[in-house]
Amino acid sequence: MKIFLLTLLINFLSLCLYSQSSNNKKSLQAIKINSNELVLDGKLDEPFWEKITGIEDFLMQEPIEGGEPTENTIVKIAYDEKYLYIGAVLFDSDPDKIKAFKMRKDASLNTDDRFMWILDTYLDGRNAYFFEINPRGLMGDGLLTSGQGRSLNKDWDGIWRPWTFIGDFGWSTEIRIPFHTLNFDPKINTWGINFQRTVRRKNEEILWSGHKRNQGIYRPQDAGRLTGLNQISQGLGLEIVGYGKAEASKIADSQTEGFVKDNGIDGGLDVNYNITAGLKASLTLNTDFAETEVDDRQINLTRFPLRFPEKRDFFLEGANIFQFATRSGVYPYFSRKIGLQSGNPIPILFGGRVIGKIGKVEVAAQQVKTKETDQISSEDFSVIRLKQNFLKESSIGVLYTRRHTKNGERLPEPLQDRNTLGVDLTLNTSTFLKNQNLQFQAFAVLHNPNSPDEINNSIWDRSARGLRFNFPNQPWSGSLSYREFGVFYDPALGFSRRNSFRRVEPRIRFSPILEKSSVIRELQWEISFENLMSLQWKKLTQNIRLTPISIRFETGDEISYQVIKNFEKLENDFNILGDNSIIIPTGNYTNWSHQIEIETANYRKIVYELELNTEGFWSGNRVEYQNNLTLRPIPGINVNFGYIHSKIDLKEGNFKTNLIRFLADFDITPFISFSSNVQFDDISRQIGMNNRFKYTITPGSDIYFVYNHNWIEEEDKFITTSNMGASKITYTHRF
């Protein structure tokens, strides 16, 4: 087996070396202008725009790969010493049907017409800045990383602004991006650039470069070239972000049957400085996350923990570099282990970070110190990530984490220092068989003991390793992965849903576009086989998943059907509700499940999603349906109602679960918004409400008002357990 895998790896590396040749790229020239000539209003009516030769040689990606777009698009680029300007005219033969519902920063634009672009400022074909807008001036941005699957960190917030105009010709935009919001090499006068436009009512996607279905805007290696950038500057490269906060809260005290009240005024400071053109250092003091959105509530009826996404700004910047062996399901670094315990915040005293590039090496290092509380001691968290790029699309990386806890009594030496080391290798090529993508990934992670019981165990028991082959193309795609997690694998600064297993999973998918059909856009068939075994090769979990049919219609509506055969070996009794009311006994369980999903097109004013599951569940059956209803009566108002209901009938007992979500977004302009999020489930019997008002003074400077309220159901009535109100202002200044 090892010889076979080694032979495959050698052949794959040889293929990468042979096939990584450069292709001819489309080119667009930026023209230097006098900014005094520019009036930013979304209309390209200044004389200099007429003199600039733009691009309009876009091609369809869908519905007809390589086809001529039904609507014309013209894009032009200008710049001065401080700013990059993008002007675009997006013609539309029926402007009354332009879709533009949303205005909130970084909101999903799967509902609207949109214009997207990327800037590969180092021309390395690996990383890029991502931007998108809609006809109402919504701003979305992020950091894009190529690799196994799309990796877009939309929580990066650049300081830039678009102006848009809707007229009888369609819509147009003028966009200003300060050079000091980007990192780039000033010695390079050519960047990678690409553009994509969506005509939503037609579900039409058009691209300037890389129009094939296995290419696209999310692959910097498929971008064109932006030339002519001379004598541009990031400025001093110093950014100061300060905040002030006033907060009042009260929390129910079970001992006194009253409330513990607290209030105060606080503040903090972030300082960012570009050490070099590609390397940025950051320092944060007294970091606060009062404005952070709450987690989406979930009911967990599995034996394993749930992984919630990071939502705090400080930990989201640079998250793309910290990523490790993406798509392999291993997380040796999980930022929610810092400053959070069981979802409750732990004060962060200070933190430092360095992110960026040194030559062909991507660098990310982070140091954070948390404050001692009644529940936990002060801790120091260290993370270092290095990734060496080689060939055209390949890399090898190292990740190191350290968690140091100052608590000699409850956590004796050497367990106060818990260290994790990981190595990952990625070999990618996009020129396999001339124009196909082929990818390979391997990883290994190990850590020192986390408890006294593990001190005498081997490194093999405290490590994880795996590999993955991927063929991400259209209409055929597939993957084959293998991974092992040791008995005591549990990185102190990472996340592991399950350990002590070997897992093999092959998958194959066929998804053709029906270019000649006026009804059906895409069909999809898929089959996968997950075989999870103990380290002694005994079967633990097995899932055979078959998608007999999935249909995406020309209208954008979708329907799919999936059938799954599941086997579970339960080695210990399972307390499914956590209250000992129903215990699933050890044994072997084989069940079938059927799943139907229906979703109407997102660009409609009324959108409905239904997912119906009927399945064998342990010793009995479960019927579950998930409903989502979204209403968009007028632009700027998006209201969503979600309801998940499960009815479980087991030999050991019967029960029902209900989860209700209500989310309302009211966006007055792209800079003024209010949201309300209410969630309830009848397992925890708690209602949680989060209200947030945000006013953006200028990009980078914001005012927040937040109010949270939580209740618990006791004796058929809801009793307040906590509430909190906070106001916060942040101000950013760049030199």
CATH of the domain at 193: 2.60.40.1190
Beta carbons of 57 and 209 less than 8 angstroms apart: no
* Confidence band, pLDDT 50/70/90 cuts, at residue 496: very high
Rounded distance, CA 490 to CA 398, Å?
18
Average pLDDT of the residues of the chain: 90
Residues 126-165 pLDDT 10s: 889 999 999 999 999 998 988 776 678 887 888 899 999 9
In a domain, 164, yes or no: yes
- Are the CB atoms for 216 and 208 separated by under 8 Å? no
Least confident stretch, 365-369, 410-414, 619-623, 653-657: 410-414
Mean pLDDT within 215-227: 94
Q: Render pLDDT for 162-176 as a digit per residue (tens, 0 to 9).
A: 999 999 999 999 999
Does the residue 247 lie in any domain? no
Among 363, 434, 447, 445, smallest CA distance to 402 is for 447
pLDDT band at 1 (very low <50, low <70, confident <90, very high): very low
Cis check: omega of the bond before 412, within 30 degrees of 0: no
For the chain, give the percent of residues with pLDDT over 70.
Answer: 95
More confident residue, 457 or 49: 49
Residues 6+ positions from 429 with CB-CB distance below 8 Å = 15, 16, 19, 20, 392, 393, 437, 438, 439
pLDDT of residue 411: 53
The lowest-confidence range among 227-241, 445-459, 559-573 is 445-459
Taking residues 604-617, report their average pLDDT.
96
- Say which residue, 560 or 459, is predicted with more confidence: 560
Instruction: Identify the domain containing residue 192 by its residue range.
Output: 23-227
**Across 3-17, 21-35, 569-583, 596-610, least confident range:** 3-17
For 431-458, letters b (16+ CB in 10 Å) and e give bbeeebbbbbbbbbbbbbbbeeebeeee
Q: Which helix (H) or strand (E) holds 691?
A: strand 686-698
> Does residue 181 form part of some domain?
yes
pLDDT at 253: 81
Quote the tokens at residue 165. Answer: 């105009």
The single residue listed with the structure tokens 């209208």 is 555
**Quick check: is 39 in a domain?**
yes
**How many domains, the chain?**
1
pLDDT number for residue 55? 96
Does residue 63 lie in a domain region? Answer: yes
Euclidean distance between CA atoms 547 and 528, whole angstroms: 9
Amino acid present at 589? Y
When pLDDT is averaged across residues 9-34 and rounded to a whole number, the result is 67
Average pLDDT of the residues in 183-192: 90
> Is 412 a residue whose pLDDT tops 70?
no
- With a cut of 50, say whether residue 331 has pLDDT above it: yes
Please say if the pLDDT value at position 292 is more than 80.
Answer: no
- How far is Cα 576 from Cα 568, in angstroms, rounded to an integer? 15
CA count, 13 A, side-chain hemisphere, 728? 24
Q: Read off the pLDDT of residues 54-82 as tens digits, 9 standing for 90 and up.
A: 999 999 999 999 999 999 999 999 999 89
Tokens of 196: 């994509």
Residue 701: HSE in the Cβ half-sphere, 13 Å Cα cutoff: 9
Instruction: Tell me what pLDDT residue 735 has.
Output: 80
pLDDT greater at residue 277 or residue 114:
114
For residue 416, the model assigns a pLDDT of 76
Does the residue 108 lie in any domain? yes
Give the Cα separation of 359 and 363 in Å (integer). Answer: 10
Q: Is residue 158 part of a domain?
A: yes
pLDDT at 483 over 80: yes
Residue 618 placed within a domain = no
Please spell the DSSP secondary structure of 35-82, one letter per residue.
Answer: GGG---SS---SHHHHHS--B---EEEESSTTPPPSS-EEEEEEE-SS
| Span of 286-290, 382-386, 547-551, 602-606 with lowest mean pLDDT | 286-290
| Model confidence at 671: pLDDT above 90 | yes
Non-local (6+) Cβ contacts of 456 within 8 A are: none
Judged against a pLDDT cut of 70, whether residue 9 lies above it is answered with: no
Question: pLDDT class for 377, splitting at 50, 70, 90?
Answer: confident
